[in-house]
Amino acid sequence: MTLAEQWVAFYTIVRKEIRRFLRIWMQTLLPPAITMSLYFVIFGALIGSRIGQMGGFTYMEFVVPGLIMMSVITNAYSNVVSSFFGAKFQRFVEEILVSPMSNNTVLWGFVIGGVARGLLVGLIVTLLSLFFTSLHIQHVGVTIAIVLMTSIMFSLAGFINAVFANNFDDVSIVPVFVLTPLTYLGGVFYSIDLLPDFWAGVSRLNPMLYIVNAFRYGVLGVSDVNVTTAFLMVGGFTIAAYAYCMYLLSSGTRLRQ
Amino acid sequence: MAIALQIKGLRKVYDNGFEALKGIDLEVTEGDFFALLGPNGAGKSTTIGIVSSLVKKTAGDVHVFGHSIQTDLAAAKREIGVVPQEFNFSNFETVWDIVVNQAGYYGLNRAVAGERAEKYLKKLGLWDKRDVASRMLSGGMKRRLMIARALIHEPRLLILDEPTAGVDIELRRSMWEFLTEINRSGTTIILTTHYLEEAESLCRHIAIIDGGNIVENTSMKALLRQLQKEVFILDTPEVITPDLVVEGFDTRYIDEHMFELVLKKGSSLNEVFAALNKQGLVISSMRNKANRLEELFVGLLNAK
């Protein structure tokens, strides 16, 4: 296929992916909006007002970046895992497998679909947060870069999950039992400076801590961790996940008999 | 004529150790209408799966219009349109989206995709259903949708894996006409089917696969010439008895207005009617007891 034809194929997948999550907005866009609004009301407005300052900011200001990032992560991941597994489950992944598209086109088509949903939900949550606090982004470049890299990384991770998933339980295991706990323990609701040294050390093993803090640095200008380390780590994981996805596609693992 | 499909020494051993293909060779000439027949589990779908890249081969070579699926897979894929046995499209997408998106996967822009979608959906009687979600279609419509989807990039080789399974007779006939028209326009067609009259009436060449081996590969005419006898059922308005004898032919009484007659290779229908005339027996209608190809097919498989 020529480059122009690959572009058409890529655009076709991205368009289909975006139309898919917009068509089922009650399942994809509304739930995170409601959930995050509840977080803002309960943790930010009600409980937060009693907590006082955190890292030099009101509690609401402190939790907003983490909650936005949590939405981006779970939605980018969920979009790719559910869409690609659905295609496998109903076998219409074969439409893609018999076509002459390159593996890169297939992969990036699904990944950009995941990134689009992650960013759209992130934007919705950000707009909702403005009803509760004001955001003055300190480092625009850092903010955009970490959101983009993170949504790409988790879209790739969702793709890997979808390839190996055998049923719909396998699709929800990682978001429910891995992503959500790691995000909750990754400094969304607290600064690790509050933790005893041992637990602060353990927290530093949690990759979500770096992602949440890099984003918080972009928005608020403060971070519990070194932001360069965060970028290197997200970049490293993204490259590793991309390489593994390409291996899965080229070897046909779990896709071709 | 170019070779549309060339298969050499194709083997497939699945992860569970089952050897589905034991080194088959096959050649399909451009423009042919080719039947690939065999009992369930013979290796037909595995062969099609390998050619369309959904199944990984264990050994052997496959070339589609000269493009190796090993070294030039994308070019080979462009030449192929596949209509699988099982429905494999999104239940939630509309007929239009399924066909147009498939065109996009082959790099066709939306203007071209739209023109072709209209052309094939109209030809296949799905134009009125273009905005309907695919899950709402009847079984026959779903089959036709898969044919439209497979043709959207106008492949030179169309592979149909039991395309008329579960389709009513009227629709099956119209699909035969459509496939004949596609074939006449130059598309090479490979067909697997359990309806042997379908293969006999449509296909010019035939391969029979059984137990992972090709047991017959010849032209339909040559195969039918192998037929040693044909059994006809004849209806007569007159009353016949079980002791009916037609001189020179074996017969079997069915009921007082119907009997079977065996026509051996070398005999002609003229001889049959001459004998019947001689006895003054009027025949109102006659038909084959079984499809001719079916008799050969069963014979070949039993001979193994």
Query: Given this model, what pLDDT does residue A139 score?
Result: 93
Interface contact A1-B74, CB threshold 8 A:
yes
Query: Given this model, what pLDDT does residue A219 score?
Result: 92
Query: Given this model, what pLDDT does residue B303 score?
Result: 65
pLDDT at B28 over 90: yes
Q: So what CATH class is B229-303?
A: alpha beta
Interface contact B97-A91, CB threshold 8 A:
no
pLDDT at B243 over 90: no
Q: What is the mean pLDDT of residues B106-121?
A: 94
Length reported for chain B: 304
Q: What is the mean pLDDT of residues B293-304?
A: 67
Is residue A256 in a domain?
no
A8 touches chain B (CB under 8 A): yes
Query: Given this model, what pLDDT does residue A182 score?
Result: 87
pLDDT at B98 over 70: yes
Query: Given this model, what pLDDT does residue A7 score?
Result: 96
A236 touches chain B (CB under 8 A): no
Each domain of chain B, given as residue ranges in start order, spans 3-225, 229-303
The DSSP H or E segment spanning B231 is strand B229-235
pLDDT in tens, B149-191: 999 999 999 999 988 877 777 888 888 889 999 999 999 999 9
**98-117 of A, contacting B, C-beta below 8 A:** 98-102
Q: Which CATH architecture has domain B3-225?
A: 3-Layer(aba) Sandwich (3.40)
Closest-CA residue of B relative to A88 is B88
Is residue A113 in a domain?
yes
pLDDT at B215 over 80: yes
ipTM field: 0.89
Closest-CA residue of B relative to A10 is B105
Q: Which of A92, A103, A250 to mutate to test the interface with B (most CBs of B within 10 A)?
A: A92
Q: What is the mean pLDDT of residues B207-226?
A: 82
Residues of B near A (Cβ–Cβ under 8 Å) read 14, 49, 52-56, 73-75, 77-78, 80, 82, 84, 86-92, 97-98, 101-102, 104-109, 149
| Complete DSSP assignment for chain A | --HHHHHHHHHHHHHHHHHHHHHTHHHHTHHHHHHHHHHIIIIIIIIHHHH-EETTEEHHHHHHHHHHHHHHHHHHHHHHHHHHHHHHHTTTHHHHHTS---HHHHHHHHHHHHHHHHHHHHHHHHHHHTTT-----S-HHHHHHHHHHHHHHHHHHHHHHHHH--SHHHHHHHIIIIIHHHHIIIIISS-GGGS-HHHHHHHTT-HHHHHHHHHHHHHHS--SS-HHHHHHHHHHHHHHHHHHHHHHHHHTTTT--
User: CATH topology of B3-225 equal to that of B229-303?
Assistant: no
pLDDT tens across the length of chain A (257 residues): 899 999 999 999 999 999 999 999 999 999 999 999 998 888 777 887 788 788 788 888 888 999 999 999 999 999 999 999 999 999 999 999 999 999 999 999 999 999 999 999 999 999 999 998 888 889 999 999 999 999 999 999 999 999 999 988 898 888 888 888 888 888 888 888 888 888 888 888 888 899 999 999 999 998 888 999 999 999 999 999 999 999 999 998 988 98
- Contact criterion met (CB below 8 Å) for B182 and B148: no
Going by pLDDT thresholds of 50, 70 and 90, the confidence category of residue B250 is confident
Query: Given this model, what pLDDT does residue B295 score?
Result: 66
Going by pLDDT thresholds of 50, 70 and 90, the confidence category of residue B304 is low
Query: Given this model, what pLDDT does residue A56 score?
Result: 82
Number of domains in chain A: 1
Structural domain for A241, as ranges: 3-251
Is residue A73 in a domain?
yes
> How many CB atoms lie under 10 A from the CB of residue A148?
15
Closest-CA residue of A relative to B52 is A98
Q: Give SS3 for B292.
A: helix
Interface contact A100-B78, CB threshold 8 A:
yes
- Contact criterion met (CB below 8 Å) for B303 and B216: no
- How many beta-carbon pairs under 8 angstroms link A with B? 81
Query: Given this model, what pLDDT does residue B139 score?
Result: 86
pLDDT at B119 over 80: yes
Interface contact A257-B53, CB threshold 8 A:
no
pLDDT in tens, A54-104: 878 888 888 899 999 999 999 999 999 999 999 999 999 999 999 999 999
Length reported for chain A: 257
Interface contact B52-A98, CB threshold 8 A:
yes
- A chain contacts of residue B102, beta-carbon cutoff 8 Å: 95, 99
Strands B205-210 and B258-264: unpaired
Is residue A155 in a domain?
yes
Query: Given this model, what pLDDT does residue A133 score?
Result: 86
The token pair that represents A249 in the structure block: 């596609």
The DSSP H or E segment spanning B116 is helix B110-123
- B chain contacts of residue A100, beta-carbon cutoff 8 Å: 73-75, 77-78, 106-107
Q: What is the mean pLDDT of residues B293-300?
A: 68
Interface contact B101-A11, CB threshold 8 A:
no
The token pair that represents A11 in the structure block: 């655009």
Query: Given this model, what pLDDT does residue A80 score?
Result: 96
- B chain contacts of residue A12, beta-carbon cutoff 8 Å: 101, 104-105
Q: What is the mean pLDDT of residues B287-301?
A: 69
pLDDT mean across residues, chain B: 88
A4 touches chain B (CB under 8 A): yes
